Amino acid sequence: MKDTLMRWKLPIICFIWQLAMIILFGVFIRYDEEANAHWNVIRRIRNITSALENDFYFRYPSFQDVHVMVFVGFGFLMTFLKRYGFGSVGFNFLIASFSIQWALLMQGWFHSLDFSDGKIKIGVESLINADFSAASVAIAFGAVIGKVSPIQLLIMSLFQVTLYAVNEFIILTVLGAKDAGGAMVIHVFGAYFGLTITRILYRTNLDQTKNESVYHSDLFAMIGTLYLWLFWPSFNSAISNHGDAQHRAVINTYCSLASSVLIAIAISSLFEKKGKIDMVHVQNATLAGGVALGTAAEMMLTPYGSLIVGVLSGAVSTLGFIYLSPLLEKYLKIQDTCGIHNLHGMPGVMGAIVGAVTAAAATEGVYGREGLIEAFGFEGRFADRTPSVQGGYQAAALCVTLLLSVGGGAVVGFILKLPFWGDPSDENCFEDEVYWKVPVDEEAPLRNVHYENNELKKPNSNGDTQQ
């Protein structure tokens, strides 16, 4: 029997890390100009006519949508597991809350450090980027959920957010790639990082019968799916340039997502036994169109281009669930609980390629001279870039992301393999009872039926753990 007692380990790690956050925030983090009480003075000096010019009003509605996606969207998406609802929503809540704090520091050091005073200046855009980082962690969580302890999740978050900021710095700042909706930065990185970890944590005797849903849990999962689907246009436009870029990113994502739904359901019905639709595909593959526009959403992809991307990514994602996942588990020993390879991995890679091609195909005719410079940032160091060169850098960015995610995942995977992190035994995976105080409930008599093939709890012991 493994020792899954969290009494000392979990509280200590939480206390120490939170204390570290307080100290580091104290040393480094301050409000940016637009969140500072001096702003109204600055505003008048700069002759900014309206308080609305504060970036807050350009980005706050999108920020709230992204915020909902990270905590409700990803949290509830994973509640499809019949006996891991608390862990899905609760652990996602825990690691995302840590990740956003650590991300404000890591991303700040790399992107918004004010060298004049050595401080990181944060505003609403920093909050969005921190949430993006947490989204990437939530994606990786989807691969290992049910098989790891909260401590392992916190350690994974710490390393992932760190490496996320490094990767983001290399591809956006050094290579000058564009990735507003994070097809590479968020999805590809999160997916392959998580998949590498779950590969290393492979469990031979995993009881896959518990990695399943029940009727109610599938409905809870749909809450997550729908909020992800609905707010994805905000996700892909949240940090785009003001005006037409945000506007365009929303239209493209809206179209792409709509077409993914039809295709996911069509393929589900076509390949499933008796032509019945599988909720797993509705819960996941319908979102592929959002992932696949993560890079190109703000570009002049055109609405029909978006529909095509939505169709292809939705098809790849659904077929991945049906055919690829079983093969990955059988031959590569990758136990991908939520199928993130199908939802974030492949559609993310597709999104990076779509972005590279769309960038390479950009012309002055379509964007206008100014528009081209603004859309791809052909200024300063990148002033002499052409769209086709930009396309090359986009492709390079994908390669860097793949390397860092797999490499980083390998290192972290071996760290998490150490025996003292309190992970559950194979037969107790996907069981909330291991880490959560679970109420005795009306279904208990039935639920105990399941536990009879589970050393951990007998109906009676089950009873008194829960008084």
Terminal C-alpha separation, the chain: 23
Nearest to a copy of itself of 76, 393 (CB atom): 76
The smaller minimum CB distance to a copy of itself, of residues 276 and 330, is found at: 276
Interface with a copy of itself includes 456 (CB under 8 A)? no
Q: Which of 79, 107, 317, 405 binds a copy of itself (CB under 8 A)?
A: 79
Alpha carbon 319 to its chain's center: 21
Out of 109, 110, 202, 367, name the contact with a copy of itself by CB under 8 A.
367
User: Which phi and psi angles does 121 have, rounded to 5°?
Assistant: -100, 120
CB of 329 to a copy of itself, least distance (A): 17
Q: Judged by CB, which is closer to a copy of itself: 339, or 408? A: 339
Q: Are 400 and 170 in contact (CB under 8 A)?
A: yes
Measured from the CB of residue 325, what is the shortest distance to a copy of itself in angstroms?
16
CB of 256 to a copy of itself, least distance (A): 11
Q: To the nearest whole angstrom, how small is the minimum distance from the Cβ of residue 195 to a copy of itself?
A: 25
CA distance 144 to 139: 10
For the CB of residue 237, give the shortest distance to a copy of itself in the complex, in Å. 9
Count Cβ atoms below 10 Å from residue 316 Cβ, excluding itself. Answer: 20
User: In the bound complex, what is the minimum distance in angstroms from residue 406's beta carbon to a copy of itself?
Assistant: 29
Token pair recorded at residue 203: 């469990």
Q: Write the binding mask 125 to 154 for a copy of itself: x where contact by CB under 8 A, - elsewhere.
A: --x----------------------x----
Angstrom distance (rounded) from CA 175 to CA 299: 18
The answer to whether 354 and 295 are in contact (CB under 8 A) is: yes
Between 269 and 325, CB nearer to a copy of itself: 269
By the rule CB under 8 A, 231 interacts with a copy of itself:
yes
Report if residue 304 touches a copy of itself, rule: CB under 8 A: yes
- Nearer to a copy of itself (CB atom), residue 162 or residue 302: 302
Kindly indicate which of the ranges 166-174, 192-200, 222-230, 377-385 contains the residues binding a copy of itself, using the contact rule CB under 8 A.
222-230
- Cβ-contact 288, 265 below 8 angstroms: no
157 binds a copy of itself (CB under 8 A): no
Cα distances (angstroms) measured from residue 329 to each of 12, 77, 335, 445: 35, 21, 5, 33
Amino acid at 3: D
Q: 22 is written with which tokens?
A: 């307080």
357 is an interface residue for a copy of itself by CB under 8 A: no
Residue pair 263/286 in contact (Cβ under 8 Å)? The answer is no
- How many residues of this chain interact with a copy of itself, rule: CB under 8 A? 142
Identify the CA nearest to 189 among candidates 166, 165, 157, 164: 164
- Applying CB under 8 A, among 2, 93, 113, 454 the residue interacting with a copy of itself is 93
Q: Which SS3 state, helix, strand or coil, does residue 395 take?
A: helix
Q: Does 36 bind a copy of itself (CB under 8 A)?
A: yes
- Residues in a beta bridge with 122: 31
Asked whether position 439 contacts a copy of itself by CB under 8 A, the answer is yes
How many CA atoms lie less than 13 Å away from 236 in the CB half-sphere?
A: 38
CA distance 53 to 144: 43
- Which residue stretch of 192-200, 349-357, 369-377, 400-408 sits at the interface with a copy of itself (rule: CB under 8 A)? 369-377
Q: Contact between 122 and a copy of itself (CB under 8 A)?
A: yes
Which positions ≥6 away from 467 have C-beta within 8 Å? 440
Q: Which helix (H) or strand (E) holds 94?
A: helix 85-111
Site for a copy of itself contains 371 (CB under 8 A): yes
With binding defined as CB under 8 A, does residue 218 bind a copy of itself? yes
Examine residue 243 and tell whether it contacts a copy of itself (CB under 8 A): yes
| Interface region with a copy of itself, contact rule CB under 8 A, candidates 7-15, 178-186, 319-327, 350-358 | 7-15
